[in-house]
Amino acid sequence: MNQEQNIEQQLWAYIDGISTNEERSVVEKLLQSNFEWKNKYHELLEVHQLIGSPELEQPSMRFTKNVMEKIAQYHIAPATKNYINKKIIWGIAGFFITLIAVFVVYGFAQVEWTTQDNSNLPIDFSKLSQVDYSKIFSNNFVNVFMMVNVLLVLVLFDRVLANKRKKFQKQT
């Protein structure tokens, strides 16, 4: 079996033209004198010609048309605008906006709004720097919530830009 593989390797190298001059002369002598080498050479030469034939079988035009007609019979999935409930999206957005508003109101509630002097401004801006933000942002839950909100805003921004890009590509 090993000898047969060696014969095939040498013959393939000879047929492909990658063998050296010495190997070519040895193979040519063996082809003239050895019947086994000659038979194997003709087999491999036929395979090489079959592989190298440029004509590939193609289906008929009617077959392609039949396939396309069959595909056209099936219903195409509707666009996401049709099956995503906008009320749910608005509800989720309202929930997050309400939650952010609650955090802002809570932050303003921590500010001392009274002033000692008789100025016309109802807010003492020097007291704003005295607000203890550690009470608001010390909880791990709040930090995770804020990170999720930032991530959602980035995803929303990405979707808006993707939609603009699609509209621009349709126009061109």
Per-residue pLDDT at 151: 93
Tens of pLDDT, residue by residue over 76-130, are 666 666 667 788 888 899 999 999 999 888 888 877 766 555 556 566 666 666 7
Gap between the Cα atoms of 112 and 132, Å rounded: 11
Per-residue pLDDT at 108: 82
Sign, CA dihedral 161-164-170-172, equals negative
Find the mean pLDDT for residues 23-43: 87
pTM here is 0.32
Find the mean pLDDT for residues 136-144: 73
More confident: 30 or 2:
30
Tens of pLDDT, residue by residue over 35-76, are 888 888 888 888 888 777 666 677 777 888 888 888 888 876
Tens of pLDDT, residue by residue over 123-132, are 666 666 676 7
Answer yes or no: are the C-beta atoms of 110 and 131 closer than 8 Å. Answer: yes
More confident: 137 or 94:
94
Q: Which residues, in sequence order, are CB contacts of 143 under 8 Å at separation 6+? A: 137
